[in-house]
Amino acid sequence: MDQLKSQQKSLSRFQVMLMAVAAGISVANIYYNQPILKDLATTFGCTEAQAGLTSMLAQIGYGLGLFFITPLGDKLNKKSLIVTLLVLLFLSLLLMIISSSIVQVWVLSVLIGILSVAVQVILPMAAGLDSVNRGKTVGTIFTGILIGILAARVFSGAIAEWLSWRWVYGFSAGLVLAVTLLLKTYLPEVETSFKGSYLKLLGSTLSMLRRYSLLRKVALLGAFQFGLFCSFWTTLTFHLSGKPFYFHTDTIGLFGLVAIAGALLAPVFGKASDKGSAKRVQFIATAIMIASILLMLFWGQSVIMLVAAVLLLDIGAQAMQVTNVALVYTLDESSHSRVNTIYMTTFFIGGALGTFVGLLCWQAGGWLWVTLQMLTWTVMILLILIGFRAKKR
């Protein structure tokens, strides 16, 4: 108990902010490729479809890392694991700078995706080190993650426009090296309790889903919430590039800045979950997302209304996400990395499904069908919340 208290006290505000920045810098590497796919096709003389595989392979790599590497946070020293992943990520980014074929880019994209899961070791480590203000701490870290995801596209597009796509990975390598040195210096050491083999660790990870009904609930909520989120951001580009807007890529990218403004409120909702208001936050978040979608449905041809809808959607989505993650970390203290693996794997499966369904709806019925299917996602979230509450009663 004394050791646990000392660990809680050792996590300063500076350490929390450092972990948030490191998480954002790490996860951003998955998304840098999206604005530069056409540049890759030009550089290597390949088709746009072949260049497009880069984005998919980075996501596949991240999914593999989530399941096969993230659970190691419960078996190995978390600080050493984070530093090792980031050092290897730094080396992979250097290799990307000098890549000479699209095949090399594909291989390195998978590797970068795998190693970027350092962010998913940082998050449970921060939660385990601060049980008193866990929701607020998780909210701060997740704000860093979201800003990294949203800012990656803006950063990558701007650097590639002014310099070249190789400079994107050069700057990223410098950022990764800087945070690696800082984490090595300032992160505390955390002992782990799992002593079994790696295969037993993976088996134990899967058992978490059967063991905790709360984990099953929030994993489903996370999947629907991220499915809605990805569906929106995938189709928004098509909506804004067509009539009546006809916006260019750089203008569309500015909508990401609106989303970042919403992400800054994540710690507020995390603090609310610390005070025992998790269920209320989940219902409020769902109501905010529904209001956002209704704005898109009825006034989706207005720039002002779309900006307001983006802000509301992001506030609602991040409120739900931060609360879900904080709830997950109230489970077994010795299994934070494993429950995080289950939650985040389900979360990204939902995102992939949302992207796929959103594209199908766009092709079939344009913006109207997109907003209607987004409304369906929120209804499913609401049904899960009501069903779980009724079951508990």
Per-residue pLDDT tens digits for 23-51 = 999 999 988 887 777 788 888 888 766 77
Q: What is the pLDDT of residue 146?
A: 80
In this predicted model, what pLDDT tens digit does every residue of 314-348 receive, in sequence order? 888 888 888 888 788 788 777 777 888 888 888 87
Q: Residue range 240-250: average pLDDT? A: 76
Instruction: Calculate ∠ Cα 259-262-265, nearest 5°.
Output: 150
Q: Residue range 141-164: average pLDDT? A: 82
Cα end-to-end distance, the chain, whole Å: 33
Q: What is the pLDDT of residue 332?
A: 74
User: pLDDT at residue 287 above 50?
Assistant: yes
In percent, how much of the chain has pLDDT > 70? 88
Domains in the chain: boundaries:
1-192, 196-393
Q: Residue range 80-105: average pLDDT? A: 94
Most confident option among 195-209, 336-350, 371-385: 371-385
Q: What is the pLDDT of residue 286?
A: 93
Which residue has better confidence, 141 or 293? Answer: 293
Q: What is the dihedral of CA 355, 358, 362, 366, to 10 degrees?
A: -140
Q: What is the pLDDT of residue 233?
A: 78
Q: Which of 95, 93, 105, 110 is nearest to 40 (CA)?
A: 105
In eight-state DSSP terms, residue 242 is S
Q: Residue range 224-229: average pLDDT? A: 89
Q: What is the pLDDT of residue 1?
A: 41
3-state secondary structure of 195: coil
Q: What is the pLDDT of residue 4?
A: 41
Rounded CA separation 79/187 (Å): 7
Q: How confident is the model at residue 182 (pLDDT cuts 50, 70, 90)?
A: very high
User: pLDDT at residue 106 above 50?
Assistant: yes
- CATH classification of 196-393 is 3.40.190.80, yes or no? no
Q: Residue range 74-97: average pLDDT? A: 93
User: pLDDT at residue 258 above 80?
Assistant: no
pLDDT mean across residues, the chain:
83
User: pLDDT at residue 298 above 50?
Assistant: yes
Q: Is the peptide bond before 244 cis (omega within 30 degrees of 0)?
A: yes
Most confident option among 132-141, 194-203, 240-249, 304-313: 304-313
Helix/strand/coil (H/E/C) assignment for every residue in 150-182: HHHHHHHHHHHHHCCHHHHHHHHHHHHHHHHHH
Rounded CA separation 212/320 (Å): 19
Q: What is the pLDDT of residue 108?
A: 95
User: pLDDT at residue 296 above 90?
Assistant: yes
User: pLDDT at residue 268 above 50?
Assistant: yes
For residue 100 the two structure tokens come to 């000479």
Q: For domain 1-192, give the fold.
A: Growth Hormone; Chain: A; (1.20.1250)
User: pLDDT at residue 142 above 50?
Assistant: yes
232 close to 258: Cβ distance less than 8 angstroms? no
| Block residue for tokens 């594209």 | 359
Q: Residue range 121-143: average pLDDT? A: 79
User: pLDDT at residue 12 above 50?
Assistant: yes
CB hemisphere CA count around 198 (13 angstroms): 6
The pair phi, psi for residue 172, each rounded to 5°, is -60, -40
Q: Residue range 236-242: average pLDDT? A: 78
Q: DSSP letter string over 41-75? A: HHHHT--HHHHHHHHHHHHHHHHHHHHHTGGGGGT
Q: How confident is the model at residue 354 (pLDDT cuts 50, 70, 90)?
A: confident
Print burial letters for 240-278: b (CB count within 10 Å at least 16), e (below 16): beeeeeebeeeebbebbebbbebbebbbbbbbbbbeeeb
Q: What is the pLDDT of residue 7?
A: 43
Least confident segment among 76-80, 152-156, 257-261, 285-289: 257-261
